[in-house]
Amino acid sequence: MIGEVSIVGVYVPALLLLTLLAIVLTGLLATLLQIVGFYRLVAYRPLVDLALFTLLLGLLVLVTAPFGPTAA
Residue 27 clears pLDDT 90, i.e. is over it: yes
Q: For residue 60, what pLDDT is reported?
A: 93
Q: Are 18 and 60 in contact (CB under 8 A)?
A: yes
pLDDT band at 1 (very low <50, low <70, confident <90, very high): low
- For the entire predicted model, the pTM comes to 0.82
Domains in the chain: boundaries: 4-64
3-state secondary structure 33-56: HHHHCHHHHCCCHHHHHHHHHHHH
Query: What value does the mean pLDDT take over residues 24-40?
Result: 96
- For residue 19, the SS3 value is helix
Nearest 5°: the CA angle 10, 17, 49 is: 155
